[in-house]
Amino acid sequence: MSDIRQGCYAIRSDERLNPVRVLNWNIERGLRLPAVMDFISRQRPDICILQEVDLNARRTSRLDVADFLAAHLDFNYVFGVEFEELSQGSKSAPAFHGQAVLARCHILEPRILRFNRQSDFWDPHWFVPKLPVFQPRRGGRMALATELVLGNNRLVIYDLHLESKGGDGLRLSQLTEVVQDSLRYPRDTPIILAGDLNTHQAPSPLRRYLLSAGFTDASDGCDCHGTIRDGRTLDWIFTRGPVVCSGTRVHRETRASDHYPLSTTLRLPA
């Protein structure tokens, strides 16, 4: 199977969106998919940046979660494979796990930036049973990069899921690869860098690094701390270029995932 899958379900691809409502969310594989769908439907985002999205896994009823969400909620989408989930599929029907971007507009140039530095925690080992509790996987952490057509603008999105095992040094190395990759775009290109950064320290050195690299924290000045139930902030939206964010908030009213969704409204150049 290709590492990238796409589908087009938007009833009408709307390239005139401005402002743009953006939702960033680790959906915990889609284990509570009806509740995830209900929340997205009520929020009516224009772009969804999702992490921990299953494809053909036993735990999520063999669904293609990204395709299912896009088809039922009228989005175009792209899905990128992060891992093959070795305990969730079979030789004839493998299961995968990754990131997805859903959008009401055209999605162009999807690609995967798989990080050079990886933890070996998830690798299958001969002395560890291939059971779901151990989550044996093949693959590696990555960023899903896409371009969206919005009027006269090309909006670049980096959908990240940084390593949860290991320290901030490893995560900072992975994040640096994304920032270096973003330099391929002109400085006046609107960019969103969002996802589950697994920032366990507060204040986070990853946030400091992104600010020093010219990115803006969409939640700056807003009360957006605590994106999981124990109060830690793991999930972020950053921007670079001619983008203005407003109304950024964490949606603690939903229990559809072990992460709370984070939303913001973007205004792009006219």
Domain total in the chain: 1
Q: What is the token pair recorded at 228?
A: 């999981």
**Residue 129: its pLDDT value, please?**
52
CATH number of the domain bearing residue 196: 3.60.10.10
Q: Phi/psi at 72 (nearest 5 deg)? A: -85, -20
Supply the pLDDT for residue 126: 44
Give which of 106, 187, 173 is closest to 143, Cα–Cα: 173
DSSP string, 67-112: HHHHHHHT-EEEEEEEEEETTTS-SSS--EEEEEEEESS-EEEEEE
Query: Cis ω on the peptide bond leading into residue 203 (within 30° of 0)?
Result: yes
pLDDT at residue 123, as a whole number: 56
**pLDDT tens-digit profile, the chain (270 residues):** 689 999 999 987 666 778 999 999 999 999 999 999 999 999 999 999 999 999 999 999 999 999 999 999 999 999 999 999 988 999 899 999 999 999 999 999 999 999 998 877 655 544 445 555 556 778 899 999 999 988 888 999 999 999 988 889 999 999 999 999 999 999 999 999 999 999 987 788 999 999 999 999 999 877 778 999 999 999 999 999 999 999 999 999 999 999 999 999 999 987
What domain range includes position 41? 4-267
Strand intervals (E) in the chain: 4-8, 20-29, 47-55, 76-85, 96-103, 107-114, 137-139, 142-150, 153-161, 191-196, 216-217, 235-240, 244-250, 262-267
Give whole-number Cα distances, 42 to 34, 82, 168, 254, in Å: 12, 28, 35, 11
Residue with tokens 């775009």: 185
Output the pLDDT for position 124: 57
State residue 223's pLDDT score: 75
* Residues shown for the chain: 270
Question: At residue 240, what are phi and psi to the nearest 5 degrees?
Answer: -145, 150
